[in-house]
Structure 1
């Protein structure tokens, strides 16, 4: 009975999710039942998050441009992560410059005090 109640909770047909997973996994991979269920739930959560974003629009009809805007973070995660890395490296360089300037100021102040 536990399996039947799990099936009722899943947002998508499990067979379809498994079929799609197998299309993208190596042919020698086996998928555990828990992974099948959790993938299904995860996809449902993503769908819910996108719909929540779509609900923020004041229009009665969901248009393709609205949809594209809402899925942008999911479709461009690699580019977003690269940009994040670039910004972090730049901030680290700025921090190093600030540390260097701070040491210069400390050295200059000590010389003037002497």
Structure 2
């Protein structure tokens, strides 16, 4: 099983710069809770990075433009971004929804949710 993390942000250096400025000036209106949880303003969250690097899970990280391009033939519903999906036998399913991500405050909460749900899956 693969976990696909889809950020509500487009790829590229210019977009990364815009996102950084948005996080600084108006963090409460920043549209990507997954970005805010896994990345600070300037670098990847330390707790998240350690979990990701040591994890036995198969993770894929995509910006919304990359996701739409790569999975355009597999998307049979409108996913609200950000989102974490699972891919099982080519089928995409919601693993952690936008609403759930929006309620999380930090990487520890995300890691706990991934671990708990992975036991069930």
TM-score (normalizing by structure 2) = 0.26
Kindly indicate which of the two structures has a greater share of residues assigned to helix.
Answer: 1
Structure with more contact order per residue of length (Cα contacts < 8 Å, sep ≥ 6): 2
Kindly indicate which of the two structures has a greater share of residues assigned to strand.
Answer: 2
TM-score (normalizing by structure 1) = 0.27
